[in-house]
Amino acid sequence: MQWQALRLKLKKEMDRAVGVFDSGLGGLTTVKALNELLPNEDIIYFGDTARIPYGSKSRETILKYATQDTNFLKTKNVKMIIAACGTVSSLIGGKNLTSALPFTGVLLPAVQAACAATRTKRIGVIGTLATIQSGSYGKAIKNIEQKAVVIGNACPMFVPLVENGYISGQIAEYFVKEYLTPIKKENVDTLILGCTHYPILKDVIADFMGETVKLISPGEEAAKYASIALLSENLLNEKNEQGINSYYVSDSPESFEQNAARFLGGSINGEVKLASVGVG
């Protein structure tokens, strides 16, 4: 009887969803990667669309928002939380915002992947202004590879470009050239796309940087990290059916639904609900 009770308890733990949060839509690139890597897992996503962007706000405000986002997901009884926001991840580094659950940002998984990929130890990083000013990617890279040369640049127009659908063509190409020319001149062989919006511009960025430069998507790397963490904690869902995605936003579910397909690579496969998380 005790063994049966233990198995039942373990199954309940496995059946809980994975929580993901971001300041808006960008974290959906992490959801897409999770759906591909762990198709049986249920996912609960929170996009703080009422307060986007985080990247231009103060450190104190960003950390307050991140704590509120985390607490919201905890109310949904999730088994792990992913901070799929480059800005939040750059400020918290390896810190766990919830000691009771497995947790990861996107920074450390991306840094580990970049250090493994680089041949010349010249690594580029692009991100929001807050991410680049924090210097967190450079610090984390040098903790792994002391001789690495890190070249960073803020790309403040990338998020609004992606949010408004300008992911190819002359406008996207103009800003990619504007922001990435200084990095390309430094002959990096690896480039971290330090915001989860940026992989949507991956084709334009790859064309400009050239085929010899390896692009690192933090959302994809965070999904890989999550799969390993869930396996090590015996929390992988064992059901033989497709997981369910549920979405919460702090503003305009209709707008979120219209734009989500761009990040998910297909139509949104779940219900979108309005949630008032720390607004006001």
What are the percentages of helix, strand and coil residues in the chain, rounded to 5? Answer: 50, 15, 35
Assess whether 155 carries a catalytic annotation.
no
Question: Length of the chain in residues, anyone?
Answer: 280
Residue 51: strand, helix, or coil: coil
Helix axis angle, 107-117 to 218-232, nearest 10° = 110
Sign for the CA dihedral angle at 61, 62, 63, 68 comes to positive
As a whole number of angstroms, the distance between CA 35 and CA 62 comes to 27
Residue 249: strand, helix, or coil: strand
At residue 220's C-alpha, the angle toward residues 21 and 79, to 5°, is 45
Torsion angle of C-alpha atoms 144, 148, 149, 150, degrees rounded to 10: -20
Would you say 193 and 202 are in contact if contact means Cβ atoms under 8 Å apart?
Answer: yes
Would you say 106 and 196 are in contact if contact means Cβ atoms under 8 Å apart?
Answer: yes
271: its two tokens: 């219900």
Of residues 33, 85, 188, 213, which has the active-site annotation?
85
Strands 18-22 and 80-83: parallel
Based on C-alpha coordinates, what's the Rg of the chain? 18
Of residues 195, 204, 213, 260, which has the active-site annotation?
195
* Active-site residue set: 85, 195
